[in-house]
Structure 1
Amino acid sequence: MPRIPEDQIDAVLALVDADIDKSLQRLFDLIRIPSISTDPGYRDQCKAAAEWLSRDLDSIGFDASIRPTTGHPMVVAHQKDAAGPHLLFYGHYDVQPVDPLALWTSDPFEPRLEPLPNGDTAIVARGASDDKGQMMTFVEACRAWKAVTGKLPVQVSILFEGEEEAGSPSLAPFLDATAEELKADMVYVCDTDMWDRETPAVTTMLRGLYSTEVEIACADRDLHSGMFGNAARNALQVLSDVVSSLRTPDGGVAVEGFYDGVKELPEAIKAQWQRLPFDEKGFLADIGLTIPAGEAGRSVLEQVWARPSCEINGMSGGYTGEGFKTVIPAKATAKISFRLVEGQVPEKIRDAFKAHVAARIPADCSVTFKDFGLAPATVMPIESPFLTKTLAALSAEWECEAALAGTGGSIPIIGEFKRRLGCDALLVGFARFDNRVHSPNEKYDLSSFHKGIRSWVRILAELAE
């Protein structure tokens, strides 16, 4: 397609600016619906949020419908009256519970505007950032395009989920059932942060996850340490030996074969990260630390975004109550998680870890595992034209170089889009790190909402070429 004329893009952006108060009121109406997915008592409210979104998408020309699941409904919408690529936009309308309610400074579901010291304004409410404010930036951009030109620049499908905060139990079977309908050239997700207050970011790297609970059993009961000390095996000591064996002296992971398939960071991404305004010392100082851990010779950003890790998330055994009890514990447990990167196969990491542990268990003791999460890493090819055009659009709107970001966390739904639909995904979000997501007094900056809408206007225009 020929490039969309600049004056047409300017007209759409001007309408976004003129109608920002109307956009804000629509967001407020959606926020007022307490769509808490994890609490069965809010089932009707989750349905009401889905119905609100379906009506709103219908009002701007989408063919929208509510699709039932075994849990909360999905909202699916299509508008394919344009040429060019087909995009699938994903968001979630469900929100976290508000507890502890006493720490909120106002009604969590009555959004309010609060002036910020930096001159911005905060939208304070549950779901303002995660994810209602974020996903409505895309809807409002579509609304503006339709109002000015009568159509969207590209083909768009939308999937809004109602169970993301509950672990998305219905998503995988739903994607299987609708794979042909929802298959697209690219999935866009608006549920992430900017690099800093002024720098937008596209998240292209997500670490995978393997998490498990290890239980070691020795004697058939807890023992008196004076009567059995030295002679009887201590489950906590065995567990501690196993845990300490997981790391190498230089901070690496000692599980055999752990780094098989792990590639070095591409030079182009490494150079871009080096240009980012990131203060390694400040990053650690903010949490009361000064000495980097992990693999020696790796930058902090590389360690938390692009290198695999092993972390002990909790240990228990013996007597942990008030006072003291001289006991040799018969059982001890540890919760352990591995963050995985491209090239690592989660099943192989799981099997290698279990073999590593089993080899260190005395013959008269036993070990059992209770697995929780198992998901591969996701990496978007940096040469993708979708990525190039998205970065260009963001850089134009924010008047600075948009960042190519990774994230140390894991978002299993991105892997589901790849496995079930065969689609890569780009994560483009406008949240700030201080948005207090999942916490009392959650907020979304008005500038995030406003410039987020403008950003999507530009992204859609860029992708139309």
Structure 2
Amino acid sequence: MANGITDLVEQNVERYQEELLELLAQPSVSSTGDGIEACARSVAGLLDEYGIDSEIIPTEHSPVVYGEKIVDDSSPTVLFYGHYDVQPPGDRERWDSPPFDPTVRDCADCGTSIFARGSGDNKGQLVAHIFALEILHQVADEQNVNVKYVFEGEEENGSTGFHDFLRTHAEKLECDFVYISDGPMHGSRRPTIVYGNRGLLAMEATITKANTDVHSGNFGGPIPNAANDLVAALDTLFDGTHGTLDVLDEDIDLPDTYAEMASTVPVDHEATKSELGLSRLARSEDQTYYERIALSPTFSINGLTSGYQGDRMKTIIPHEATAKFDIRLLPGQNPDKVFTHVEERLTALDPEISVRKLSTFLPMITDPETPYAELIRDAATTTWNEEAVEMPVLGGSLPAGYLKDVLEVPVLVVPYGNPDQNNHAPNEHMSLDNFKNGIETSARVLANLQRQ
């Protein structure tokens, strides 16, 4: 069976590539709603095309696309999660080809790649699981594993509707484990297995002082400056990238192996600094790059808006200022609890500050000793012909914590995106080698599950 999988993926990959290109040409921007409904229909149609029973389930926001191929209730069941929504393309002038006109061309570091918004995040990874089932059917005498698919349409915009969907459709999603392919693989380009994700609390703080901007000379001194006051308030929340609120040291629940695993993830500090044009990394280097991601909550200001932003000078005192910021949380921590403390701190400093919660994701950790990890390690190592890098958490945040909380089963993240995929940025792309290996890895996971 092993050799057959490799050969069959190679024989079919051009057809799979064309299916992906067609899906990438369909915009699906959850923040604006552009193309979401049409893309949901396209994803459901793809499931149907490959013999998977599909349905489109409305939510308060974007619809969820569900599919299943059930052979026997007593057989093992895997649930593949993915998201068909994408980030806005941003400045189209910075794209070398139109974001929704998928283009195949060479990439200096990762070979021939598909360039389009959503190629890596997450359509190129999502479809790998669909194609994998066809490969399984071609190499196995009969399917004896149940396969379910749940693809949401607002992961890039908070997954609010998906959270509600999980609570009302938990029985439909019953499975033995959840398999997620999202995000980039490790920078070494070795196959990667991740056992959790950081939580996310995204917020917006706004402060309003006078009813209009005023001249900084005529009014500077006695008139409060909204920008100054907001920056000063935010400064009390963090030291470097580390949050200063006591609540950020509470409720952390990490397995004994967590810190040890984080310390063994390969990291090249100098390469990271060189790639990003940095003279130094933030904070001291007594922890590795990855240990700081895995072992400490972090605070990040994402954007600041206030006053004059045009050419040259305009000497004013801004009357209003807004900041967007996020806190990444560790397993055991609750985003809603942390939000309460942030809001209390900022409004105590200045009652004219209003704080709004934008989105949350629960942190999540799965025991690396789960038996499903071994069959995934075998599949990934065989496909990529390299030992897998194992990481306790993904740096980014996913709705994986909600899946684990509702379904109470192991959730494992196996990213297929190349590490330089530029997700959320111009010229997003997915390496064709990664696309092909992703399909093969998913097919091998299904084949391994059949043998259990």
The structure 2 residue matched to 1:344, chosen from 323, 333, 337, is: 333
Aligned to 1:449: 435
Given the alignment of the two structures, is residue 159 of structure 1 paired with residue 150 of structure 2, yes or no?
yes
CA deviation map 1:362-419 (0-9, x unaligned): xxx63322221233312222222222331232123222221123332222x2233234
Pairs aligned (count)? 449
SS in 2 for 1:213: strand
Amino acid of the residue matched to residue 64 of structure 1?
A: S
The structure 1 residue matched to 2:38, chosen from 31, 45, 49, is: 45
Given the alignment of the two structures, is residue 386 of structure 1 paired with residue 379 of structure 2, yes or no?
no
Aligned to 1:410: 397
Aligned to 1:22: 15
1:450-465 equivalences under 5 Å are 450-464=436-450, 465=452
Asked if the contact 1:153/1:460 (under 8 Å) is kept, the reply is: no
- Give the share of equivalent positions with the same residue, in percent: 30
Give the direction of change, closer, same or farther, for the CA distance of 1:354–1:454 in structure 2 (3 Å limit): same
Amino acid of the residue matched to residue 417 of structure 1?
A: L
Asked if the contact 1:87/1:184 (under 8 Å) is kept, the reply is: yes
SS in 2 for 1:64: strand
Q: What is the distance in 1 between the residues matched to 2:10 and 2:57?
A: 34
CA shift for structure 1 position 431: 0.9
1:168-317 equivalences under 5 Å are 168-196=159-187, 198-218=189-209, 225-226=216-217, 229-248=220-239, 252-262=242-252, 266=256, 268-294=257-283, 297-317=286-306
Asked if the contact 1:229/1:328 (under 8 Å) is kept, the reply is: yes
Asked if the contact 2:209/2:320 (under 8 Å) is kept, the reply is: yes
Asked if the contact 2:254/2:331 (under 8 Å) is kept, the reply is: no
Given the alignment of the two structures, is residue 426 of structure 1 paired with residue 412 of structure 2, yes or no?
yes
CA deviation map 1:300-339 (0-9, x unaligned): 2111233101122333445554454554444444333211
Q: What is the distance in 2 between the residues matched to 1:321 and 1:128?
A: 35
Q: What is the distance in 1 between the residues matched to 2:228 and 2:138?
A: 68
CA shift for structure 1 position 116: 4.3
Q: What is the distance in 1 between the residues matched to 2:249 and 2:446?
A: 39
CA shift for structure 1 position 89: 0.7
CA deviation map 1:8-41 (0-9, x unaligned): 3333333233333333343344445455555556
SS in 2 for 1:430: coil
CA shift for structure 1 position 448: 0.9
Give the direction of change, closer, same or farther, for the CA distance of 1:348–1:457 in structure 2 (3 Å limit): same
Give the direction of change, closer, same or farther, for the CA distance of 1:221–1:391 in structure 2 (3 Å limit): same
CA deviation map 1:274-300 (0-9, x unaligned): 444421132133223233324773322
Aligned to 1:3: none
Aligned to 1:64: 54
Asked if the contact 2:113/2:432 (under 8 Å) is kept, the reply is: yes
Which moves more between the two structures, 314-323 or 370-379? 314-323
CA deviation map 1:39-91 (0-9, x unaligned): 55636632541342232232xxx333344455554332222325542111122
Q: What is the distance in 2 between the residues matched to 1:369 and 1:307?
A: 24
Asked if the contact 1:213/1:335 (under 8 Å) is kept, the reply is: yes
Amino acid of the residue matched to residue 425 of structure 1?
A: V
Asked if the contact 1:205/1:305 (under 8 Å) is kept, the reply is: no
Asked if the contact 1:31/1:128 (under 8 Å) is kept, the reply is: yes
Q: What is the distance in 1 between the residues matched to 2:16 and 2:382?
A: 22
Q: What is the distance in 2 between the residues matched to 1:49 and 1:158?
A: 15
Given the alignment of the two structures, is residue 366 of structure 1 paired with residue 359 of structure 2, yes or no?
no
Q: What is the distance in 2 between the residues matched to 1:253 and 1:119?
A: 36
Asked if the contact 1:46/1:72 (under 8 Å) is kept, the reply is: no
- TM-score with structure 1 setting the length: 0.83
SS in 1 for 2:172: helix
Which moves more between the two structures, 63-72 or 387-396? 63-72
Q: What is the distance in 2 between the residues matched to 1:39 and 1:32?
A: 17
SS in 1 for 2:202: strand
Aligned to 1:130: 121
CA shift for structure 1 position 129: 2.5
Amino acid of the residue matched to residue 380 of structure 1?
A: T
Q: What is the distance in 2 between the residues matched to 1:102 and 1:326?
A: 32
Aligned to 2:3: 10
Give the direction of change, closer, same or farther, for the CA distance of 1:97–1:245 in structure 2 (3 Å limit): closer
Which moves more between the two structures, 229-238 or 284-293? 229-238
Asked if the contact 1:66/1:75 (under 8 Å) is kept, the reply is: yes
Asked if the contact 1:64/1:75 (under 8 Å) is kept, the reply is: yes
Give the direction of change, closer, same or farther, for the CA distance of 1:194–1:232 in structure 2 (3 Å limit): closer
Q: What is the distance in 2 between the residues matched to 1:277 and 1:439?
A: 25
Amino acid of the residue matched to residue 408 of structure 1?
A: G
CA shift for structure 1 position 424: 3.9
Q: What is the distance in 2 between the residues matched to 1:447 and 1:223?
A: 58
Give the direction of change, closer, same or farther, for the CA distance of 1:217–1:449 in structure 2 (3 Å limit): closer
CA shift for structure 1 position 144: 1.3
Give the direction of change, closer, same or farther, for the CA distance of 1:354–1:20 in structure 2 (3 Å limit): closer
Give the direction of change, closer, same or farther, for the CA distance of 1:122–1:328 in structure 2 (3 Å limit): closer
Q: Name which one, 1 or 2, has greater alpha-carbon Rg.
A: 1
SS in 2 for 1:182: coil
Aligned to 1:5: none
Amino acid of the residue matched to residue 362 of structure 2?
A: P
CA shift for structure 1 position 432: 0.7
Asked if the contact 2:148/2:173 (under 8 Å) is kept, the reply is: yes
SS in 2 for 1:258: helix
CA shift for structure 1 position 199: 0.2
Asked if the contact 1:190/1:428 (under 8 Å) is kept, the reply is: yes
> Which residues of structure 2 form unaligned runs of 5+?
none
Which moves more between the two structures, 315-324 or 423-432? 315-324
